[in-house]
A and B are shown apart, each in its own frame.
Chain A
Amino acid sequence: MTRYDVAIIGGGVVGTAIGRELSRYKLRIAILEKEVELAFGVSKSNSGIIHPGTQHSPGSLKGRLCVEGNLLTRKLARELSIDFKEVGELIVAFNEDEYKRLLKLEKDARALVVPGLRIVDRAWLKKNEPNLSNEAMAALYAPTAGIISPYRWVYDFAENAVRNGVEIHAETKVENILFKKPDFEIISSRDNFLARYVINAAGLYADEISAMAGVNNFKIRPRKGEEFLLDKKKEDLTRHLLFPLPSKTSKGILVTRTSDGNPMIGPTAEEIEDKEDLSTTEDGLKKVLEGAKRLVPSINANDIIAYFAGLRPTAGDDFIIRHEDKVPGFLNVAGIQSPGLTAAPAIALMIVEILKNNGLEMKKKLVFHKHRKKEFHLFAIVPEKAKGLIQKDASYGDIVCRCEMVSAKEVREAIARGAKTMDGIKFRTRAQAGRCHGSFCTPRLMKLLSEEARMPLAGVTKRGPGSEIVKKERARG
């Protein structure tokens, strides 16, 4: 049984951000993920917004870590070569009453030192956000809001962490945690692990993992959010991320866009019981359209090309990030719902402090590789450079996905970087994420996956065992 200094349970954005931060130190670290690939849990349905910190009370962990995380994200995005676009957000007030609430939001945000805040009026909105409803009377403008690809963020953290020595164990579902002085013994569906410290970043299942360690002080309640993506052709629908005034449980129905340029409307917010219910509903679409059209009346349901549901792992009002003194060495990072993606880098730093304060000796490595090499998407670079790339490697000119213009080269690279499934390829390259939904590229992607990852065609899955794309292959020869 291998012994680790730190075992991180959960390979989402929180787990991988922590893993990457800890990889600076002379520690033996493992990330354990129950799914076949990283980011296949809560993180894959994240809306990709890097929040400025405008919607949290000044004393909250959420507020502090959000503002800090927003700053850190910029630096990390450069180091890890991921696209981060600062687009700014507008929280829109439609009447006097909402305007008063807007001023309160502004006050809270100022207390959290959110940069660049200002209240903008109707004339400003008309000029700078032309498709916004005429009914909008004012908005709180926060220029530091941005967008990022949530799953690529996870993959980039993970890849860099691995480069710096972190081990990742996928398809490793933790089934029990025993304490065998001085270590924890983690029993999983695959191997067993010894670890001096255990960090629970298990998303929706954080309460169950915590209970295994003997800490029963919180409960995760899934809150479902349905999101609807519009065709990239509508990329210019809005310039900023548009928010209504928040309600008690959510930020309301937003009009945003993904870092790949698809406008996105949603999410709903519905308390549910089932931690695996990722279904969208007719009612959800109705609510989202209604909410989105209030902000941007010209939104058309015919432009919807994709939709999905995600579950926010909520545990009360704030994040739970703490060392459980009752079980020394066990840390909970739970209830990381919005703004968890933004806060992740700040959470990672906070974990470093907690580990230090609880007896883990942390010495920096002499060499830490902080940079990650950028991969190229042919259509995101200048034509001359594209030409050079194609000349150097012919398969850059071999287009596989017609809607998103993804080359065979990019797909092969994604597989080499760890994609094992069709969803894994989609998240990394965008192949199948366009308007035809893989109707054209699926056979070719299956062949590439089969060749590169050496699996039979009938073994190719959408997202792991049980999700095989086809039922059988006609026997050859």
Chain B
Amino acid sequence: MVKRDLVVVGGGPAGMAAVIAAHENGIRDILLIERDQYLGGLLNQCIHTGFGLDYFGELLTGPEYADRFIKKIRAIPDIEVSTRSFAVRLTGDRTLTYLKPGGIFTVRPKALIMATGCRERTREMIHIPGTRPAGIFSAGLAQRLINIEGLLPGKEAVIIGSGDIGLIMARRFILEGAKVKAIVEIQAKTRGLTRNVVQCVEDFGIPIYFNHKVLKIYGKNRVEKVTVAEVDEGMNEIAGTRTTIECDTVLVSVGLIPENELIEMAGVPIDKGMDSGIFVCGNSFKVYDYVDSVTSDSEKAGKLAAEYIKSAVS
């Protein structure tokens, strides 16, 4: 068992801001654990602009926003970064077990910051019936396939939900030479930012259907079509409004949920943990609209964790 002052789980915007803030507040023995090969988290696949206006006063892309923090961390030798490291177990006394290729490690820091981000709600979570062919993707997975892997998920897409990632992926699909047949939103208005509706949807004349839901997904091996209908206030289908849209791809963009399985495993509250010494920040604390807010929240967590460590020492 290794002892540390501070361990931060997650090398996305939250974790990066937290380690820097903790360092600025006097903590010197810091380990940052990141599952991926690189720091930056989901920002690396968000190649569009829209980040940093609040925090840097500049309009940045995701990778640029991440790069500023990555460079800062590289310049601080006190912060040890362990990539390809996967946290698997956490107990209430801050004992954390993580794996990396070739090893399994246990560490018990004086304070722990969980910056594990969020995941997308799935088609299954909103119970859309039908078959289970290839061609159904969460919008974020489609984003990764296109922007990181160079793979085009489909040629004719229907997007379920109007979350920001879905809107942004509508534009990406079109610029990659694919079609977006429709965006289907069950609510009366978009869940995404207006600016994304304007520059990702309206710019390209993509039809967006509010108060509509996808009733069923069809297709044996690959998605073939979906049925769509208008809904009333109770989200029930309005008779006579059913239509069919042929497509080979369904993107699901129906919201994000904090990824908190490790904290649940530890049985500690999801907060800035002045009792447990386990601090939760960024999108794993709550899903923020802007990365700038994730950064601010995580800086706060870094500072609080530093105070916690110092008060425990004295």
Tell me if chains A and B make direct contact, with any CB pair below 8 A: yes
Residues of A within 8 A of B (CB): 233, 276, 278-282, 284-285, 301-302, 304-308, 378-379, 383, 386-387, 390-391, 394-395, 397-399, 402, 405, 407-408, 435-440, 442-443, 446, 457-458, 461-474, 476
- 1/0 per position for B92-105, CB-CB distance to A under 8 A? 00000101111110
Question: Is chain A's interface secondary structure helix, strand, loop, or mixed overall?
Answer: mixed
CB distance from B267 to the nearest CB of A (A): 13
CB distance from B133 to the nearest CB of A (A): 6
In the complex, B60 has a CB within 8 A of chain A = no
CB distance from A270 to the nearest CB of B (A): 13
Write out the residue numbers on chain A whose beta carbons fall within 8 Å of the beta carbon of B99: 378, 390, 397-399, 407
In the complex, B149 has a CB within 8 A of chain A = yes
Task: Taking A408-B101, A443-B149, A446-B149 as given, write out 16 further A-B residue pairs in contact, using a Cβ cutoff of 8 Å, ordered by the A residue number.
Answer: A278-B132, A279-B130, A279-B131, A280-B131, A281-B216, A304-B124, A383-B104, A399-B86, A402-B35, A435-B122, A436-B138, A437-B122, A458-B151, A472-B151, A474-B151, A474-B152
CB distance from B47 to the nearest CB of A (A): 14
- Whether the Cβ atoms of B222 and A285 lie closer than 8 Å is no
Write out the residue numbers on chain A whose beta carbons fall within 8 Å of the beta carbon of B163: none
Write out the residue numbers on chain B whose beta carbons fall within 8 Å of the beta carbon of A306: 124
In the complex, B153 has a CB within 8 A of chain A = yes
Contact of A304 among B127, B131, B137 (CB under 8 A): B127
30 A-B contacts (beta carbon < 8 Å)? A276-B220, A279-B218, A280-B131, A282-B127, A282-B216, A304-B125, A305-B122, A306-B124, A379-B88, A397-B86, A397-B99, A397-B102, A398-B99, A399-B86, A399-B88, A399-B99, A405-B86, A408-B101, A437-B123, A439-B120, A439-B137, A443-B148, A446-B151, A461-B134, A467-B222, A468-B134, A468-B222, A469-B153, A470-B151, A472-B151
B249 to A, closest residue via Cβ: A471
- Whether the Cβ atoms of A471 and B131 lie closer than 8 Å is no
Contact of B150 among A397, A407, A473 (CB under 8 A): A473
- Bound-state Cα–Cα, A380 to B46, Å: 36
A383-B104, A397-B99 known; A439+B141 contact, CB < 8 A: yes
- Whether the Cβ atoms of B129 and A466 lie closer than 8 Å is no
Contact of A471 among B138, B140, B153 (CB under 8 A): B153
- Bound-state Cα–Cα, A235 to B97, Å: 22
- Bound-state Cα–Cα, A469 to B86, Å: 26
Write out the residue numbers on chain B whose beta carbons fall within 8 Å of the beta carbon of A279: 129-131, 216, 218
- Whether the Cβ atoms of A466 and B104 lie closer than 8 Å is no
- Bound-state Cα–Cα, A69 to B127, Å: 36
The residues in B between 64 and 116 inclusive whose CB is less than 8 angstroms from any CB of A are 84, 86, 88, 97, 99-104
The residues in B between 219 and 247 inclusive whose CB is less than 8 angstroms from any CB of A are 220-222
B136 to A, closest residue via Cβ: A437
- Bound-state Cα–Cα, A461 to B133, Å: 10
Write out the residue numbers on chain A whose beta carbons fall within 8 Å of the beta carbon of B84: 398
A440-B119, A471-B248 known; A402+B132 contact, CB < 8 A: no
The residues in B between 198 and 222 inclusive whose CB is less than 8 angstroms from any CB of A are 215-216, 218, 220-222
- Whether the Cβ atoms of B138 and A394 lie closer than 8 Å is no
Write out the residue numbers on chain B whose beta carbons fall within 8 Å of the beta carbon of A391: 102-103
Write out the residue numbers on chain A whose beta carbons fall within 8 Å of the beta carbon of B145: 442-443, 470
In the complex, B181 has a CB within 8 A of chain A = no
- Whether the Cβ atoms of B101 and A398 lie closer than 8 Å is yes
- Whether the Cβ atoms of A471 and B154 lie closer than 8 Å is yes
In the complex, B4 has a CB within 8 A of chain A = no
Write out the residue numbers on chain A whose beta carbons fall within 8 Å of the beta carbon of B141: 438-440, 442-443
- Whether the Cβ atoms of B86 and A233 lie closer than 8 Å is no
A443-B145, A463-B221, A471-B153 known; A282+B129 contact, CB < 8 A: yes
- Sorted nearest first, the 4 A-B pairs with minimum C-beta distance are A466-B221, A394-B102, A467-B221, A462-B134
B141 to A, closest residue via Cβ: A439
Contact of A395 among B101, B104, B150, B221 (CB under 8 A): B101
- Whether the Cβ atoms of B124 and A471 lie closer than 8 Å is no
Write out the residue numbers on chain A whose beta carbons fall within 8 Å of the beta carbon of B178: 471
- Whether the Cβ atoms of A472 and B152 lie closer than 8 Å is yes
Write out the residue numbers on chain A whose beta carbons fall within 8 Å of the beta carbon of B261: 233
- Bound-state Cα–Cα, A463 to B222, Å: 10
Write out the residue numbers on chain B whose beta carbons fall within 8 Å of the beta carbon of A457: 149, 151
Write out the residue numbers on chain A whose beta carbons fall within 8 Å of the beta carbon of B148: 443
Write out the residue numbers on chain B whose beta carbons fall within 8 Å of the beta carbon of A436: 119-120, 122, 138
CB distance from B253 to the nearest CB of A (A): 12
Write out the residue numbers on chain B whose beta carbons fall within 8 Å of the beta carbon of A302: 125
Write out the residue numbers on chain A whose beta carbons fall within 8 Å of the beta carbon of B125: 302, 304-305
- Whether the Cβ atoms of A284 and B152 lie closer than 8 Å is no
A302 to B, closest residue via Cβ: B125
In the complex, B144 has a CB within 8 A of chain A = yes
In the complex, B24 has a CB within 8 A of chain A = no
Write out the residue numbers on chain B whose beta carbons fall within 8 Å of the beta carbon of A472: 151-152
CB distance from B262 to the nearest CB of A (A): 10
Write out the residue numbers on chain B whose beta carbons fall within 8 Å of the beta carbon of A437: 122-124, 138
- Whether the Cβ atoms of B101 and A473 lie closer than 8 Å is no
- 1/0 per position for B139-179, CB-CB distance to A under 8 A? 01100110011111111000000000000000000000010
- Bound-state Cα–Cα, A304 to B129, Å: 13
Contact of B134 among A395, A439, A469 (CB under 8 A): A469
- Bound-state Cα–Cα, A233 to B259, Å: 13
Write out the residue numbers on chain B whose beta carbons fall within 8 Å of the beta carbon of A470: 145, 151-154
Write out the residue numbers on chain A whose beta carbons fall within 8 Å of the beta carbon of B218: 279
CB distance from B128 to the nearest CB of A (A): 9
- Whether the Cβ atoms of A308 and B132 lie closer than 8 Å is yes
A405 to B, closest residue via Cβ: B88
- Bound-state Cα–Cα, A390 to B141, Å: 29
In the complex, B54 has a CB within 8 A of chain A = no
In the complex, B289 has a CB within 8 A of chain A = no
A305-B124, A474-B150 known; A439+B119 contact, CB < 8 A: yes
- Whether the Cβ atoms of B104 and A386 lie closer than 8 Å is yes
In the complex, B58 has a CB within 8 A of chain A = no
- Whether the Cβ atoms of B153 and A285 lie closer than 8 Å is no
- Bound-state Cα–Cα, A439 to B124, Å: 12
- Bound-state Cα–Cα, A438 to B248, Å: 19
Most buried by B among A457, A464, A471: A471
B119 to A, closest residue via Cβ: A436
- Bound-state Cα–Cα, A378 to B97, Å: 13
- Bound-state Cα–Cα, A391 to B124, Å: 38
CB distance from A409 to the nearest CB of B (A): 10
- Bound-state Cα–Cα, A1 to B295, Å: 68
A436-B119, A439-B138, A467-B222 known; A301+B127 contact, CB < 8 A: yes
CB distance from A455 to the nearest CB of B (A): 14
- Bound-state Cα–Cα, A465 to B99, Å: 36
CB distance from B216 to the nearest CB of A (A): 7
Write out the residue numbers on chain B whose beta carbons fall within 8 Å of the beta carbon of A464: 221
- Bound-state Cα–Cα, A462 to B220, Å: 11
- Whether the Cβ atoms of B124 and A390 lie closer than 8 Å is no
